[in-house]
Chain A
Amino acid sequence: MSTVYSQQQIFKLLSEIPDPEIPVINIIELGILREVKFVDEVCVVVITPTYTGCPAMKVIEDDIKIKLKEIGIDKVKVELVLTPAWTTDWISDVAKKKLRAYGIAPPDHSSVDKKVLLGKARDLKCPLCGSIHTEMISQFGSTACKALYRCLDCKEPFDYFKCL
């Protein structure tokens, strides 16, 4: 039965799955879904974790299986790959806009910069009021992929999606 669906159709279907921790963006926009292929009637879905210990991966795996079951695909294998390593560079521009609208400052530069060992926190634009007078509260925020900032003008705290 599974052969009646093309890879593109399945990709489109899976694009309806939101990230469990940041539900405004889906797993394709986030760059987690890497590949869909059929191997001997089994639908193989390849995903990559944002962070090695990300607890959302198990939820995403279950969501994929449920979604495919809805259209009659029962034989599903979700493969976890580490290469190439996920990077915030894979987050699409559309997704970055959605993140900002949701109140999370999107990653503002490519990968980890060289000053990372003892680098100073970067100037980030507050996703709520747009001010650049912001400061980092903590490198580590509500989830593994985020840091915690606050705006010195509107006084609101906000999450920043860390560059990786």
Chain B
Amino acid sequence: MTLQEAKFEYLLRLGDSSLIIGHRLSEWCGHGPILEEDIALINIALDFVGNATSLLTYAGQVESKGRDEDALAFMRGEREYRNLLITEQPNGDYANTIARQFLFDTYMFFLYEELKNSKDETIAAIAVKTHKEITYHLRHTSEWMLRLGDGTAESHERLQNGLNDLWMFTSEMFEMDEVDAFLIKEGIVPDLNKIKANWEKRVFEVLAEATLQIPTTTFKQKGSKEGKHSEHLGFLLAEMQYVHRAYPRAKW
């Protein structure tokens, strides 16, 4: 593996996760439980898609095969996508979306905090910008965790169910392979064990404050690093990519 190949792969992992979770959040547009939340989720979706644009643009430059961010976003199939499985899970009810977003935001907050120190200048620059934005996202989702978890019996139950269902996708966030090992050695990306420790501490704190139980499920789902996804991703891509594939050179 060359440095170029490793970087391209890693950039896809970061960029695809942001793109897919951004797309999922955008599905709430016009369906939010209250107007303010509708607006909030779409604002957050916009930040994620913006972050994905920066990362996939750079991925295309690193790859040097003439693919830009649109080619990477709209012309790859699901087996070529490298987003974490948690990001493609359906929105479910509002509590489910909040649980998914909180688990992922916390991960992203600590990951990008470390990526700010990357020896790759472009990754560091993107991370500085993104970390400021993710800080706002995490505050927002943390507040909703408390509000729903320590709210009514029904909101508590729904959020707990959401957490239980999503828990099996969380361990994948911290798995490392040869791409990680290569880039850690180069000082470009952080060791995910460090991220995991911070993530657990933060997540457990918020769950305790929100009177929620840490899920006990030990079953683990993984596969996104090899492009193995849940069935949901194909449907998501079909909708997201339809216009671009139907009218490949359309401009408006």
Residue ranges of A at the interface with B (Cβ–Cβ < 8 Å): 49, 51-55, 81-86, 112, 116-119, 137-142, 144, 148, 162, 164
Take A51-B133, A82-B54, A118-B139 as given contacts and tell me if A140 and B43 are in contact as well, using a CB distance cutoff of 8 Å. Answer: yes
A residues near B140, Cβ cutoff 8 Å: 139-140
Chain A residues closer than 8 Å to B138, beta-carbon distance:
117
Stretch at the interface among B122-130, B218-226, B236-244: B122-130
Do B136 and A52 touch (CB < 8 A)? no
Q: Is B143 an interface residue (CB 8 A)?
A: yes
- Chain B interface size, under 10 / 10 to 19 / 20 to 34 / 35 or more: 20 to 34
Contact across chains for A53 and B50 when beta carbons are under 8 A apart: yes
Contact residue among B47, B121, B124 (Cβ-Cβ distance under 8 Å from A144): B47
Most buried by B among A49, A52, A142: A52
From B46, B54, B138, B143, residue with most partner A Cβ within 10 Å: B46
* B126 neighbours in A (Cβ, 8 Å): 52, 82
A53-B125 in contact (CB<8A): no
Chain B residues, CB < 8 A from A116: 135-136, 139
Chain B nearest CB: distance from A4 CB in Å? 34
Which residues of chain B have C-beta atoms less than 8 A from A83's C-beta?
121, 124-125, 128
Contact B133 A139, beta carbon cutoff 8 Å: no
User: Which of chain B's residues 137-178 have a Cβ closer than 8 Å to chain A?
Assistant: 138-140, 142-143
User: Is B53 an interface position by the 8 A CB rule?
Assistant: yes
Complex Cα distance, B51 from A84, in Å, reads 16
How long is the Cα–Cα vector from A119 to B44 in the complex, in angstroms?
19
Pairwise interchain contact A144-B139, C-beta atoms closer than 8 A: no
Closest 10 CB pairs of A and B: A53-B50, A52-B50, A140-B40, A138-B36, A140-B43, A53-B46, A82-B125, A83-B125, A85-B128, A85-B129
Q: Which residues of A contact B46 (CB under 8 A)?
A: 51, 53, 55, 144
CB pair B139 A119 closer than 8 Å: yes
Q: How far is the CB of B184 from chain A (nearest CB, A)?
A: 23
User: Contacts A118-B142, A137-B36: A52 and B125 contacting too (C-beta < 8 A)?
Assistant: no
Contact pattern, B 27-51, Cβ under 8 Å of A = 1, otherwise 0: 0000000001101100110111111
A53 engages B136 (CB within 8 Å): no
Q: Are B54 and A139 in contact (CB under 8 A)?
A: no
Contacts of A162 in B (CB 8 A): 136
Tell me whether B125 and A139 are in contact (CB under 8 A). no
- CB-CB under 8 A for A112 and B132, given A53-B53, A117-B142, A139-B139: yes
Task: Determine whether the beta carbon of A85 is less than 8 Å from that of B125.
Answer: yes
Do the beta carbons of A52 and B39 come within 8 Å of each other?
A: no
Query: Which residues of the other chain, A, contact B53 by a CB distance below 8 angstroms?
Result: 52-53
